[in-house]
Structure 1
Amino acid sequence: MLVDKVAEILAETAAEVIEPRFRALADGDVSEKAPGELVTVADREAELIIAERLRGLLPVPVVGEEAVSADPSLVKAVCSEPAVWLVDPLDGTGNFVAGRPEYAVMAALIKDGETVAAWIWQPTTRLGYTAELGGGAWRNGERLRRAPAGGGPAALRGVVLSRFMPPDLRTAVDARTGGIGTLAPGSRCSGVEYPRVAEGDQDFTLFWRTLPWDHAPGSLLVTEAGGVSARLDGDPYRVGRDVEGLLVAADEESWQQVRRELGLRPVDLA
């Protein structure tokens, strides 16, 4: 079964080249691929292994985060090819380098621009999340069903990731967070944030930068669990739409409440 085989590939690759380096990175194992953007030998080795093994299951192009970093034109395959694999070999690299446990290995299968299957593996928790379009969301074989949050904005628990917002918008959003019940600082790892919404540990997450390998897997997980993942104009998340801003929530009512409380409007995306 494809879902099980991909899950095995992610877990096995993590065990081979990522986990042995956790809190054991050597001098020269870490570098900057862009200002403030870290990459390690574990990221690069894991991507090569995962890509080769995924092509063995289904011989379509692989769009990996590190490959795109070296050649940005490769990301065009997400929209131009009938099917592609998306791979984030080590989501939360900054946490990994710092020795924090919030990191993940992620993949998604995209067909005609739509995410049809998704995988998230968290090595430190040993939790594996999978989702299939129309087939539900799962954690270690257990079905995930996200209940509505309820209770209004003052009861909501969530995360506002404003780091990449334009400064004026960030200031405006930060000034309006007082109407939200509980705000957490966030994990700096999409492979942790999305499962937290899907499982009910938090009710929403607001992202700004929306690179496809960061969001395709988790968006499908949340929506198949019963939640919402949509751009700030209300359109459901879809890879290839180059628009910043993505709000993920437990349910439609909570999604609307958060957008209203934070003063987020489609015009902000212009």
Structure 2
Amino acid sequence: MSEVPNDIIKIITKATDAACATAMKHYGIARASIKPDMTYVTAADREIERALREKLSRALPGAAVIGEEDGCGAAGVRGAAAKGWAWVIDPIDGTSAFIDGLPTFCVSVALFEDGRPVAGVLRLPATGDIYTARRGGGAFYNGAPIRPGGPLSRHDLPICVPSKVHLRYKIAYQGKTRNMGSTALHFALVARGAAIAAVATAKIWDIAAAALILTEAGGRVASLDGASINWRSMLKDPELPAPPLLAASRSRWKTISALISPLK
């Protein structure tokens, strides 16, 4: 298998330029339908994913492609994704926000090599913001390096939470909680120190790029019991959600995890 291209971030960024333009073409006027899992999908989701599949497949021929809207095909393809190159795409993370005309939705693309994320790009089409990371190369927000942080004594720094957090978790944190409508953005906000932590129940396309961005920034993403994400299992069965996850700085992950517990 060949090496990760040196310009992989440029390749992904160029591929997502048109995706951002497509999103903005539909922004504020998109109509949604409900999928069997009771989440929303729009014509923009499908249009963006089709275009990204085509462009990324040309950029790295032979790589598997996993996307939220069109899946990844047969079991053999899923097995290959866990062993070789694989693109993981979320055409719009935060579709509800997108439908509502809120600017907090993202286009997310990650490249995996042998079951590990090695490059990731997160774009916010409505604001022009971009988060990027390459394994071993650090993480960046609009081109500047980022680190997670912020003192726990600062109660204005929120924990980002899912929309139904009140039904799923008990949180003893004395500061704010906040939902932006996008799991990927929640992780990115932690990566640059704009949030103290993020709690999530997610599928692979929600977190593939954002988890790499956070870990390269110096953060940690793990299940609430401390177990690492099993990326290979998620690549083999992309519809399988990860256990409840916590994203935070490495130094504060254990302290914050003690404040959060799933409801029985």
Q: TM-score range by the shorter chain?
A: 0.7 to 0.9
The residue number in structure 2 matching 1:163 is 164
More off after superposition, 83-92 vs 35-44: 35-44
The residue number in structure 2 matching 1:66 is 69
- Structure 1 residue 235: deviation in Å? 2.7
Task: Kindly indicate whether residue 249 of structure 2 is the aligned counterpart of residue 244 of structure 1.
Answer: no
C-alpha distance in 2 between matches for 1:124 and 1:37 = 21
C-alpha distance in 1 between matches for 2:157 and 2:25 = 38
Task: Kindly indicate whether residue 194 of structure 2 is the aligned counterpart of residue 192 of structure 1.
Answer: no
From 34, 44, 55, the equivalent of 1:42 is 44
The residue number in structure 1 matching 2:95 is 93
More off after superposition, 33-42 vs 49-58: 33-42
Letter of the 1:56 counterpart: R
From 10, 14, 23, the equivalent of 1:18 is 23
Structure 1 residues 74 and 127 mapped into 2: Cα distance closer, same or farther (>3 Å)?
farther
SS in 2 for 1:101: coil
C-alpha distance in 1 between matches for 2:174 and 2:152 = 10
Structure 1 residues 9 and 240 mapped into 2: Cα distance closer, same or farther (>3 Å)?
same
- Structure 1 residue 93: deviation in Å? 0.7
TM-align CA RMSD: 2.6
Letter of the 1:245 counterpart: P
Unaligned runs of 5+ in 2: 1-6, 234-239
Fraction of identical pairs, as percent: 28
C-alpha distance in 1 between matches for 2:33 and 2:152 = 45
Letter of the 1:24 counterpart: I
Letter of the 1:163 counterpart: K
Q: Deviations over 1:66-111 (max 9, x none)?
A: 012x968588347544110000011111111111111010010011
Letter of the 2:179 counterpart: G
The residue number in structure 1 matching 2:4 is none
SS in 1 for 2:231: coil
SS in 1 for 2:70: helix
What is the TM-score when the length of structure 1 is the normalising length? 0.83
From 132, 142, 145, the equivalent of 1:143 is 145
C-alpha distance in 1 between matches for 2:15 and 2:215 = 24
SS in 2 for 1:67: coil
In 2, are the aligned partners of 1:61 and 1:77 still within 8 Å (CA)?
no
Q: Deviations over 1:145-199 (max 9, x none)?
A: 223x44469786312337389x6xx3xx33xx3x413222311202321111011
Structure 1 residues 237 and 129 mapped into 2: Cα distance closer, same or farther (>3 Å)?
same
- Structure 1 residue 13: deviation in Å? 2.0
In 2, are the aligned partners of 1:78 and 1:113 still within 8 Å (CA)?
no
In 2, are the aligned partners of 1:160 and 1:183 still within 8 Å (CA)?
no
Matched ranges for 1:174-193 at <5 A: 174=170, 177=171, 179-193=172-186
The residue number in structure 2 matching 1:102 is 104
Letter of the 1:90 counterpart: I
The residue number in structure 2 matching 1:226 is 218
Structure 1 residues 67 and 32 mapped into 2: Cα distance closer, same or farther (>3 Å)?
same
Unaligned runs of 5+ in 1: none
The residue number in structure 2 matching 1:116 is 118
- Structure 1 residue 236: deviation in Å? 2.9
- Structure 1 residue 24: deviation in Å? 2.2
In 2, are the aligned partners of 1:77 and 1:84 still within 8 Å (CA)?
no
In 2, are the aligned partners of 1:155 and 1:181 still within 8 Å (CA)?
no
In 2, are the aligned partners of 1:227 and 1:250 still within 8 Å (CA)?
yes
